[in-house]
Amino acid sequence: LTELLLPLLKNAEEGRIVCVSSKLHEKSGPLDLSTVNSESSYGRLASYTRSKLANVMFARELSRRLSENGVKHVTANSLHPGVVATELHRHLPFKPLMAIADLFMKSEADGAKTSLFLAMATEVKGVSGGFFSDCARRKENPAALDD
């Protein structure tokens, strides 16, 4: 979708690409593209953390390519929305524990704040290639910096 929208963004006055990732990308090791589709090494958590690492890497690489091609008015950043109480948790085991955990999770509105911040805030106009959480820039997993 991002690739399809890029021509429109390049012709706009300003464009912001916001990639939703997760703080759990920090738990991923380096991406080994030779094992991405391996069924023997598949694990739910490992696959999730790798996919979130890939989101951070995508935003960084897109930011780099845009800059190299002189497209300074389009930015790309990634973010961790927080642990948000949504219906996605209905498929997780331990339903009684999840009901308690919901008390400590962000609301959907609070979970959207960093996405909206990156999409609209003047404070991040021109900022590109970063990883954000709670409306502030955070450190990425070193594996995400492996250009």
Active-site amino acid positions: 48
Quote the Cα angle for 90-47-85, to 5°: 30
CA–CA distance, 132 with 137 (Å, rounded to integer): 4
47 closest CA partner among 66, 67, 29, 71:
29
